[in-house]
Structure 1
Amino acid sequence: MRERSLKEMTRGGLAVGHFIVEFATPGIGHLMKNAGCDFTLFDMEHSGFSLETVKHAVRYMEAARLPMIVRAPSKDSHHIARVLDMGAEGLMVPMVNDAAEARAVVDAVKYSPEGNRGVALGIAHDGYRGGAVLEKLMAANARTTVFALVETASGVENVEEIAAVDGVDCLWVGHFDLSASLGIPGEFDNPLFTSAIERTIEAARANGKATGRLVGSVEEGIAMHAQGFDLICYSGDVWVFTQALSAAVDEIRAGGRR
């Protein structure tokens, strides 16, 4: 069965992925693919990953046929352009505060006439292949998927306008940063936070856009999908590894004391 592209995942239906912030190893894409993941979210904002690491990781994910979103370290065009030229299918940018910022991101992501991305062909992002220039530009514009992080009070205040920007495919909630920006860090049951989430989901639905977020447990993932989130990123490599290892070590020690 043909795998869905990221673009297709933002057009409806549940998609489940995993967050990579530490283990950029050659086998990580196949491990996630074999576990049933639909996509990976590869972090550059809070990790130590360099562009060179991203370039390697793109190849690992391509080998596993696993669509890859890269969270860029900033909204700056040079970060966006270089991540895309490494071959990332999806581009996530932090702290999108209003429609003007969202449009600037799209402008940096898309080639003319949809944007102003600098053209370099026959390199990593197009598989080092030749071909007709216009066809390549059109194919890249159709493939590249934009995830706008809504994680500030300003982002929520302007979320309807952000969602209406052509070229934005998904509103992704950064829940910890959003709660901190609202002045209630970690209070995810606070009415200020829950109303912000509801407003974001409604704005996305009204504009035919997807929503996504990171979750820390299976139960939270199920609940968030029921609430209206389309792309669910289940936990991250460091936390899954630590939790599984800790549980096994504790169990062995408990059994050894019997």
Structure 2
Amino acid sequence: MSRTRLKEMMRTRSAKLGHFIVEFATPGIGHLVKAAGCDFVFFDMEHSGFSFETLKSAIRYFEAADVAVIVRVPGQENDMLARACDMGAEGLIAPMISTVAQAQAMVDSVKYHPMGKRGVGLALAHDNYRSAPVADALKAANDRTAVICLIETADGAENVDSIAALPGVDALWVGHFDLSVSLGIPGEFGHPKFKAAMERIIAAAKEHKKSLGRLVPNVQQGTDHYKQGFDFICYSGDVWVLRDALADAMGKLRAECV
């Protein structure tokens, strides 16, 4: 697997298609999503209850299948972000990035000197347990890891241009539900306030040539958002794909087995 796969994806605005993993961290999950045609996964530690021990194993499954991994950690703290980096996460997301100071703190936690302040741990999972000259190892880690700022608050949308302009920020991601709640219009994605916030986010990504991603519940929304400027399209999630496919089959079987 390319050790800079995710960063390479971010150098183009072509569509990168992925899947949200919030329940199933099974040994075959990497090959399952690869067989389905996924370029990346969004591995969620915020709402899943996944531990760092689970993350460490899951990253190996995705690496074996050549699938890039974006990890959302539960909080913005350094120990959350830096530890996920040490496990081998390529892309790092922390919740509720609302200010330039918070974005800078993310960069500091994810990037080694001279780009950040990440504590040095070498010959570990993130560099496949291989030794290298210190300067080379730090540079390789910085080249590999991506800081992805999750914009999901009204303040984040207001400050998004400055966040996107910050050196070390590689991409933006929209948390659409939390953003609507923060704007005072829960779930009202057609509301003018939500649309205006989205326009600011899309404009900031384009202005500063940053990748832009979000979750989508169906194919139509995915294609619509791609046309608006989103290049990381994360389709649905493991629990909902299984539930909906199973419910559809069960409904049809019950209708016929009478």
TM-score w.r.t. the length of structure 2 is 0.97
Matched, 1:60 2:61: yes
Residue aligned with 2:169, SS: coil
Count matched residues. 257
Q: 1:128 to 1:3 in 2, by over 3 A?
A: closer
Identity between Structure 1 and Structure 2 (%): 59
Which amino acid counterpart does residue 187 of structure 1 have in structure 2? E
* 1:2, distance to aligned residue in structure 2 (A): 7.5
Matched, 1:87 2:70: no
Larger mean Cα displacement after TM superposition, 20-29 or 129-138: 129-138
* 1:216, distance to aligned residue in structure 2 (A): 0.2
Cα shift readout 1:191-210 (whole Å, capped 9, x = no counterpart): 11011111100011101111
Matched, 1:146 2:147: yes
Distance in structure 1 (CA, Å) of the matches to 2:124 and 2:11: 29
Contact 2:19–2:38, Cα closer than 8 Å, also in 1 = yes
Distance in structure 1 (CA, Å) of the matches to 2:168 and 2:105: 11
Matched, 1:181 2:182: yes
Map 1:189-228 to 2 at 5 A: 189-228=190-229
Q: Which residue of 1 aligns with 2:74?
A: 73
Contact 2:4–2:143, Cα closer than 8 Å, also in 1 = no
Distance in structure 1 (CA, Å) of the matches to 2:5 and 2:233: 15
Residue aligned with 1:169, SS: strand
* 1:231, distance to aligned residue in structure 2 (A): 0.2
Distance in structure 2 (CA, Å) of the matches to 1:163 and 1:89: 19
Matched, 1:5 2:2: no
Q: 1:180 to 1:191 in 2, by over 3 A?
A: same
Q: Which residue of 2 aligns with 1:41?
A: 42
Distance in structure 2 (CA, Å) of the matches to 1:62 and 1:88: 10
Residue aligned with 1:105, SS: helix
* 1:146, distance to aligned residue in structure 2 (A): 1.1
Residue aligned with 1:37, SS: coil
4+ aligned runs moved over 6 Å, structure 1: 1-4
Q: Which residue of 1 aligns with 2:121?
A: 120
Distance in structure 2 (CA, Å) of the matches to 1:219 and 1:101: 33
Distance in structure 2 (CA, Å) of the matches to 1:230 and 1:61: 21
Matched, 1:233 2:218: no
* 1:132, distance to aligned residue in structure 2 (A): 1.2
Cα shift readout 1:209-246 (whole Å, capped 9, x = no counterpart): 11100000011111110111010000000000000000
Q: 1:150 to 1:194 in 2, by over 3 A?
A: same
Q: Which residue of 1 aligns with 2:19?
A: 18
Matched, 1:171 2:175: no
Contact 2:151–2:173, Cα closer than 8 Å, also in 1 = yes
Contact 1:3–1:65, Cα closer than 8 Å, also in 2 = no
Matched, 1:248 2:230: no
TM-score w.r.t. the length of structure 1 is 0.97
Q: 1:17 to 1:169 in 2, by over 3 A?
A: same
Contact 1:146–1:169, Cα closer than 8 Å, also in 2 = yes
RMSD between superposed Cα atoms in Å: 1.3
Distance in structure 2 (CA, Å) of the matches to 1:10 and 1:250: 41
Residue aligned with 2:92, SS: strand
Q: Which residue of 2 aligns with 1:97?
A: 98
Contact 2:17–2:40, Cα closer than 8 Å, also in 1 = yes
Distance in structure 1 (CA, Å) of the matches to 2:17 and 2:38: 6
Listed as ranges, the gaps of 5+ residues in structure 2 are none
Cα shift readout 1:48-91 (whole Å, capped 9, x = no counterpart): 10000000001101111111010011110010010000011111
Which amino acid counterpart does residue 50 of structure 1 have in structure 2? S
* 1:162, distance to aligned residue in structure 2 (A): 0.4
Residue aligned with 2:42, SS: strand
Distance in structure 2 (CA, Å) of the matches to 1:2 and 1:23: 24
Larger mean Cα displacement after TM superposition, 6-15 or 143-152: 6-15
Cα shift readout 1:26-50 (whole Å, capped 9, x = no counterpart): 0000000010000000000111100
Matched, 1:160 2:157: no
* 1:4, distance to aligned residue in structure 2 (A): 7.7
